[in-house]
């Protein structure tokens, strides 16, 4: 009971405290938040939509979470970040339960506390994206499988298939394929592939199909080929085969992410892992035999390694993709700290103190710099029914639409529009925002332009007429603090500027 209370307090401080102060950021959070906001306004809780059009980027589960939160608490930051925090809490209790079940309560508690106080987990517990929900359902799939396998209770596999189906409703086919691959590799290592017959019983497949059909069936019937092409083609096949961000498609990407994401625990674990590796090499040389792993170790190793290797082989790489590997990694390495309890508790306590401070002094300024909430506040009193609002810059600020509640055109030159306009089976198909080129700016409407500071010259050289600067938003809150602290001078850098065409003044 003490462990449960302790983990609950940690979850409250790490995941919920202050989450309402963080604005919705671009480019990812704002897409989820705006989609749910438009679904709520339309009364359609089935078909995701954004900018007035249907949107097939992700399945429905996370949108349902946002819709429930918006319905109960209203559209805003707290509601947007509520379910990621809830699922992060579920994740640490799932880790505690599983670690205690296969080892002991001490290791389960250590693993859960370690997971809760890692940098990546803390970040994703606040992020308005699907990954925390996926991780919990992914883990539930594998944990229910392993416990049923260990207990010799194949009738419990239905629960594993149900959890996998919810993972598919959260992220798509990967929610079934990747846990299935892990189970297959584990059974192969155990020399027990014949056990697959007990897993893939008709009743289990019926349970899986029934849960998936809650959304996939009506979406297929209603939207047909358009849904299949965009959801399966662009957002699944294309993601795996064509890198959205080629610079991150390097072999060492997830090695770096794992080291940084598992901070502060990786500081101690990396040297320990190296020492342990060489000890096992010495054992092999001296005794001429490979290290022996028990079934628990095999399962945790296959689980963590398969996730990392699978996503390393995929063309598109994101920081968040290896989150499902963190639960087995935490349980596996918690055994290292079981006999080093003082240093473990000191590290955990330090993390519980430091991370909430990072919320205010690091996360808040960073999210402000990656959100258009301040721009929306400046625009609000200047917009009327006849105003046309445009945005010009490298990224389209979807958060400006979320906070401003008005249609905003992505303003491009004619040449650049041809490069970024949506095309089938390409990454530009994600550009579903309304577009406008400079030569299409209406002459009979009031025009407000939100321009990224770095694109001011591009805007003024391409936009006809005279424009007056009517507002600015500063950038670099962290840079400003650092500059003042180290050099004793104020530092000010503009994030964006708001222009009004002079003929409209």
The model's pLDDT over 12-29, given as tens digits with 9 standing for 90+, comes to 999 999 899 999 999 899
The ranges assigned to domains in the chain are 2-366, 372-504
Burial (CB count within 10 angstroms: exposed 0-12, middle 13-18, buried 19+), residue 445? exposed
Least confident of 158-162, 215-219, 376-380, 487-491: 487-491
Q: How far apart are the first and last CA of the chain?
A: 66
pLDDT tens digits along 351-375: 999 999 998 888 998 999 999 999 9
pLDDT-based confidence at 226, cuts 50/70/90?
A: confident
423 or 463, higher pLDDT: 463
* Closest CA relative to residue 447, chosen from 430, 433, 465, 431: 465
Residue 56: the pLDDT is 87
pLDDT tens digits along 245-300: 566 667 677 778 888 888 888 876 656 655 665 566 566 666 666 667 788 999 99
Q: How confident is the model over 479-501, as a mean pLDDT?
A: 66
User: Would you state the torsion angle of the CA atoms of residues 264, 270, 272, 276, taken in this order, to the nearest 10 degrees?
Assistant: 150
> Among residues of the chain, what percentage have pLDDT more than 70?
86
Residue 265: the pLDDT is 85
Q: What does pLDDT average to over the chain?
A: 87
* Long-range contacts of the stretch 471-475 (C-beta < 8 A, 24+): 471/375, 471/378, 471/379, 471/497, 471/498, 472/496, 472/497, 472/498, 473/374, 473/375, 473/378, 473/497, 473/498, 475/369
Residue 246: the pLDDT is 65
pLDDT tens digits along 492-504: 578 899 999 877 5
* Closest CA relative to residue 84, chosen from 113, 61, 101: 61
pLDDT-based confidence at 480, cuts 50/70/90?
A: low
pLDDT-based confidence at 231, cuts 50/70/90?
A: confident
Residue 1: the pLDDT is 82
Residue 75, pLDDT > 90, answer yes
408 or 480, higher pLDDT: 408
Sorted by sequence, the CB contacts under 8 Å of residue 318 that are 6+ apart come out as: 248
> Among residues of the chain, what percentage have pLDDT more than 90?
62
Residue 229: the pLDDT is 73
**Prediction pTM value:** 0.91
71 or 266, higher pLDDT: 71
Within a 13 Å sphere around the CA of 493, how many CA atoms are in the beta-carbon half? 12
d(CA 389, CA 371): 17
Residue 88: the pLDDT is 98
Residue 487: the pLDDT is 45
CB 109 within 8 A of CB 3: yes
pLDDT-based confidence at 57, cuts 50/70/90?
A: confident
- For the residues of 131-190, what is the DSSP string, one character each? HHHHHHHHHHHHHHHHHHHHHT-GGGHHHHHHHHHHHHHHH-THHHHHHHHHHHHHHHHH
334 or 68, higher pLDDT: 68
Burial (CB count within 10 angstroms: exposed 0-12, middle 13-18, buried 19+), residue 371? buried
The 10 Å CB-count burial string (b at 16+, else e) for 117-129 is: bbbbbbbbbbbbb
Residue 278: the pLDDT is 58
Residue 341: the pLDDT is 85
Residue 283: the pLDDT is 60
Residues in the chain: 505
504 or 407, higher pLDDT: 407
* Closest CA relative to residue 468, chosen from 444, 493, 449, 441: 449
Residue 54 pairs with which residues in a beta bridge? 49
CB 72 within 8 A of CB 79: yes
Residue with tokens 């674990």: 269
Least confident of 29-43, 79-93, 335-349, 389-403: 335-349
């Amino acid at each position: 009971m003490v462990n449960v209370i302790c983990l609950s307090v940690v979850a409250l401080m790490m995941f919920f405290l202050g989450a309402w102060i963080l604005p919705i950021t671009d480019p990812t959070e704002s897409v989820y938040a705006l989609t749910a906001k438009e679904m709520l306004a339309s009364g359609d809780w089935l078909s995701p939509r954004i900018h007035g059009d249907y949107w097939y980027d992700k399945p429905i589960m996370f949108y349902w979470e946002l819709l429930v939160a918006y319905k109960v608490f209203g559209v805003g930051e707290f509601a947007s970040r509520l379910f990621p925090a809830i699922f992060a809490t579920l994740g640490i209790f799932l880790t505690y339960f599983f670690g205690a079940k296969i080892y002991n309560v001490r290791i389960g508690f250590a693993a859960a506390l370690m997971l809760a106080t890692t940098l990546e987990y803390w970040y994703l517990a606040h992020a308005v994206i699907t990954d925390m929900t996926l991780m919990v359902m992914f883990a539930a799939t594998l944990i229910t499988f392993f416990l049923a396998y260990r207990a010799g209770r194949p009738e419990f596999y239905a629960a594993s298939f149900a959890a996998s189906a919810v993972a598919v409703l959260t992220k798509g086919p990967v929610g079934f394929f990747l846990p299935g691959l892990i189970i297959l590799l584990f059974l192969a290592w155990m020399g027990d592939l014949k056990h697959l017959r007990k897993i893939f019983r008709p009743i289990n497949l019926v349970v899986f199909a029934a849960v998936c059909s809650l959304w996939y069936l009506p979406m297929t019937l209603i939207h047909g080929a358009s849904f299949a092409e965009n959801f399966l083609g662009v957002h699944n096949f294309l993601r795996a085969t064509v890198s959205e961000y080629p610079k991150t498609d390097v072999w060492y990407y997830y090695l770096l992410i794992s080291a940084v994401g598992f901070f502060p625990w990786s500081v101690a674990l990396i040297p320990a892992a190296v020492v342990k590796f060489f000890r096992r090499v010495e054992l092999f040389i001296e005794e001429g035999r490979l290290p022996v792993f028990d079934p628990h170790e095999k399962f945790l190793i296959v689980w963590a390694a398969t996730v990392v290797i699978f996503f390393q082989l995929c063309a598109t790489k994101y920081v968040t993709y290896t989150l499902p590997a963190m639960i087995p990694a935490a349980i596996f390495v918690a055994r290292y700290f079981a006999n080093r309890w003082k240093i473990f508790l000191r590290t955990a306590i330090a993390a519980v103190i430091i991370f909430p401070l990072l919320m205010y002094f690091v996360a808040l300024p960073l999210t402000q710099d990656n959100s258009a909430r301040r721009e929306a506040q400046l625009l609000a009193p200047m917009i009327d029914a006849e105003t046309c609002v445009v945005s010009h810059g490298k990224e389209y600020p979807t958060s400006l639409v979320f906070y401003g509640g008005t249609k905003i055109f992505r303003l491009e030159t004619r040449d650049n529009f041809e490069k970024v306009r949506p095309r089938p089976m390409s990454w530009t198909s994600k550009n579903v925002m309304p577009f406008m080129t400079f030569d299409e700016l209406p002459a009979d409407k009031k025009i407000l332009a939100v321009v990224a500071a770095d694109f001011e010259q591009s805007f003024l050289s391409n936009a006809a007429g005279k424009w007056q600067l009517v507002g600015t938003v500063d950038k670099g809150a962290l840079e400003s603090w650092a500059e003042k602290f180290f050099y004793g001078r104020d530092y000010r850098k503009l994030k964006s500027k708001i222009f009004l065409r002079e003929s409209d003044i």
